[in-house]
Structure 1
Amino acid sequence: MKTRADWLPALAAFESAARHQNFAHAAEELHLTASAVSHHVRKLEARMGVPLFQRHARGVSLTAEGRQLADAAGSAITDIDGVVQALRSRRDERHVVRVTTLHSLTHSWLLPRLADFAAAHPDLRVHVDTEVALTRFDDGGPDLGIRHGPGHWPGLSSRHLMDETMFPVASPSLPGLSRIRGAGDIAALPLLADNNRQGWHDWFRHAGHHGVRIDPHYVFSDSTDVLEAAAHGLGIGLARQRIVAPWLENGRLRQLPGPEMTGRFAYYIVHPSHRRLRPEAQALADWMLAQAPD
């Protein structure tokens, strides 16, 4: 006798009953009645011509034949569940866009705008990676990235997102702030620095002050930490315009006298050159380009 699709409900009921050794528990799991589970099991027994359970006053227990079928049914259902979950995950993954970028840009520029993207694309999910190390764009990795640099990276296509300007900022309550009348007065107060490849030496030269001795009181690896330190009154930070905007808007920092210096590097949207962006990732890239200033 061939196993046909109309056996599947009976096999599912039997597998659950065999696993629980209880018809009532199987019925609860399958949202059936205990009598319906019992009917499915008896249907299998009748078709196979062998008893699958021993019925007794305390409940039921598997026969040797029942144990053999339960092992096979359990293994098959587990395999099917695994395939179904993998297919569902693959379907769901189409709605996930993975982007790798800087923590500072995420905190100050991307997060305040993401609600707008969610409103425009409610079915898409965005996963943001801000690890310090440059993420590799392997299969299963990020779809795209935002990088700060010269705009050319081996193996990556890049599209200009926005430029950057730099200027000094400090807390309005920083002691000695009232004595600053120009760029030359800034070096007399504590300076804060980060690992940016363009820093205080460049800014002082841009302001026309050469040979200024730079001895930062605090150095941080992340630009947002510099701004937080400045907001706490620890010194003067050299801020990037796109990053410092939230601190200026809430009044925790103020821009100091002196010129604004155009950044040597800019922000770029990047992705592997060997593959085109998926439509979902392209939607995020287009949205970010629309958010960037002209």
Structure 2
Amino acid sequence: MNSISLTNMILNLPFTSLRAFEAVARHASFSGAADELGVSQSAVSQHVKSLEDWLGHALLTRGARRSQPNRDGARLAQAIAEGLGRISDVCEDIRDKRRADNTIVISCLPGFAFVWLFPRLMNFDLMHPDLSISITTDSGTGGFAEGQADIGIRYGTGHNPGFVVEKLMQEDVFPVCSPALLRGPHPLNDVADLVWHTQLRDEYAPYTTTPPNWEYWARENRLSLPTPARTRRFGQSNLVIQAAIQGIGVALGRGPLVMDALHGGRLVRPFSQTARSPLAYWLVYGEAQKKSDKIARFINWIKREAAQQPPLPASLKSKPRQD
């Protein structure tokens, strides 16, 4: 019986008046409370008066410029503030949960994120304005853990036991450089001309016995790779690509990561030889994600983007050196 009476009491509380009173007590001012609540000072005064009538006790000591809560008023103002604060926390938590439900967290390598994924995300945003993408980058060498992201994009052999694994893109590897190197003092007419240039190397090496490096490319094409003038090593693919674009040296390009720069004219292929990489890009996600609509929409979108990769531009022959 007591619990029923308590429930009825809570349901019948004059919440609008309570909120108005709490604002007055906090500001010690009817005008301050009115400004905060976006109502007239008269409306605030009426709400506080109706609350005092409902309780049968005065709650404020009214003055010309300040209205301070009395002992009972201070107790009530504190209780309201604590209650509203708790309500606010719960509402924010619910809103955060909704935001989380509309966010897709992607885990991938920095190079892939910066060079391939970021430039294409605007397409996804336009197609799915109700969803948002959050990118987390890591080395990718530790495998994909379900708690770290909704879906992973991994570079390697596709070995991720316990997860759904789908191939996103295969890759070919081939030398790329700035067009400026073709016009320099040592144009790249032949592989032997690499002896005059800086060799740019990507130090990222996923677990494999056959990394798609310079030696792999030469071996696959039965070429003799000369010792370069110097070697620069980078730990991220995007840094290798940027160094090549700036004319620092010749890089071994990985198809998906250099395709945009090739078609944009920022990079060229000095030689025609390519090699199919033993590694590829994979989508990795947990079994539970197979039922997620947002994951399905992202997977469909990124597969379409991967399938729309333009063809590899033809290699360019550098002009004969003019002495």
- TM-score w.r.t. the length of structure 2 is 0.83
Residue 168, structure 1, aligned to residue 178, structure 2: no
Residue identity (%) = 30
What RMSD in Å do the two structures reach over aligned CA positions? 2.2
Matching of residues 68-83 of structure 1 within 5 Å? 68-83=75-90
Q: For residue 95 of structure 2, what is the amino acid of its counterpart?
A: R
| Conserved 8 A contact 1:167-1:256 | no
| Conserved 8 A contact 2:197-2:228 | no
How far did residue 91 of structure 1 move?
Answer: 1.5
| Conserved 8 A contact 1:108-1:245 | no
> How many equivalent pairs are there?
292
Counterparts of 1:19 and 1:135 in 2: how far apart (Å)?
53
Counterparts of 1:258 and 1:189 in 2: how far apart (Å)?
18
Which residue in the other structure is 2:194 paired with? 186
Question: CA offsets per residue over residues 195-236 of structure 1, 9 Å max, x none?
Answer: 143211111111213575468521001111112112222211
Counterparts of 2:153 and 2:160 in 1: how far apart (Å)?
12
Q: For residue 146 of structure 1, what is the amino acid of its counterpart?
A: I
Q: For residue 18 of structure 1, what is the amino acid of its counterpart?
A: A
Residue 281, structure 1, aligned to residue 295, structure 2: yes
Which residue in the other structure is 1:37 paired with? 44
**Partner residue of 2:234 out of 213, 220, 230:** 220
| Conserved 8 A contact 2:196-2:229 | no
Counterparts of 1:258 and 1:186 in 2: how far apart (Å)?
14
The alignment partner of 2:271 has SS state of: coil
| Conserved 8 A contact 1:192-1:236 | yes
Question: CA offsets per residue over residues 36-82 of structure 1, 9 Å max, x none?
Answer: 11111111111212211001223211100001111111100100111
Matching of residues 118-267 of structure 1 within 5 Å? 118-132=125-139, 137-139=145-147, 141-174=148-181, 175-178=184-187, 180-196=188-204, 197-210=211-224, 212-213=226-227, 217-267=231-281
| Conserved 8 A contact 1:176-1:189 | no
How far did residue 153 of structure 1 move?
Answer: 1.4
Q: Give the unaligned 5+ runs of structure 2.
A: 205-210, 309-323
- TM-score w.r.t. the length of structure 1 is 0.91
Counterparts of 1:117 and 1:138 in 2: how far apart (Å)?
23
Counterparts of 2:77 and 2:144 in 1: how far apart (Å)?
46
How far did residue 273 of structure 1 move?
Answer: 3.8
- Out of 34-43 and 106-115, give the one that drifted further: 106-115
Which residue in the other structure is 2:62 paired with? 55
The alignment partner of 2:165 has SS state of: strand
Decide whether aligned partners of structure 1 residues 274 and 253 sit closer, same or farther in structure 2, where only a CA change above 3 A counts.
Answer: same
Q: Give the unaligned 5+ runs of structure 1.
A: none
- Out of 201-210 and 130-139, give the one that drifted further: 130-139
